[in-house]
Amino acid sequence: MSFEAIKDPIFIWFIIGLCCVIGEFALPGVIIVFFGAGAWLTALLVYLLNIGVPMQVTIFTLTSIIALVTLRKYFNPPVNENEPDITDDFTGKTAIVQESISKGRPGRVMFKGATWQAQTLCDQIFVQGQYVRIASHESIVLYVEPIKEDVKKEEVLCRK
């Protein structure tokens, strides 16, 4: 292969497409592969029609965006409505206070063998060693409340 082939726009668009497809494996989400498809379609059109660089860039941009908008929905994994939400793993469960927690002053709780940052919206102080109920969570922060035996499991004592 001569160095002249490397300067060929068809070769360049093909390599750009290949890099995008390979790069998709390294990055989360399904996005870059559509730019790879746009580059390959551009390479095909350059081969068939021998078009100039401005038109090549326009074709690449348009085909990539159209592919992204129209085809991405087919590449996202379907949501299984029967699978339990991750919230089910936390809400209503019991944790042990590791560092005291009060309203406006976060602490830590032990839950499932790991310590978690915890906050409360209750006007109560939770001390180390006390058992608490997880009312909700936001990212990696658990919101806790006191355990009441006579309260239904679904009831939330201190709301956000």
Q: How far apart are CA 79 and CA 73, in angstroms?
A: 12
Residue 1 has pLDDT above 90, yes or no: no
- Looking at the structure, give the CATH architecture of the domain made up of residues 86-146: Beta Barrel (2.40)
Q: Which of 55, 41, 37 is nearest to 10 (CA)?
A: 41
Of 13-22, 26-35, 80-89, 116-125, the least confident: 80-89
Taking all residues of the chain, what is their mean pLDDT, rounded to a whole number? 84
Q: How far apart are CA 111 and CA 96, in angstroms?
A: 7
What is the structure's pLDDT at 150? 42
The backbone torsions φ and ψ at residue 143, rounded to the nearest 5 degrees and listed phi first, read: -100, 125
Domain range annotation of the chain = 3-75, 86-146
Residue 76 has pLDDT above 80, yes or no: no
Q: Which residues pair with 143 in a beta bridge?
A: 119, 136
Q: Name the strand (E) or helix (H) holding 79.
A: none
What is the structure's pLDDT at 113? 87
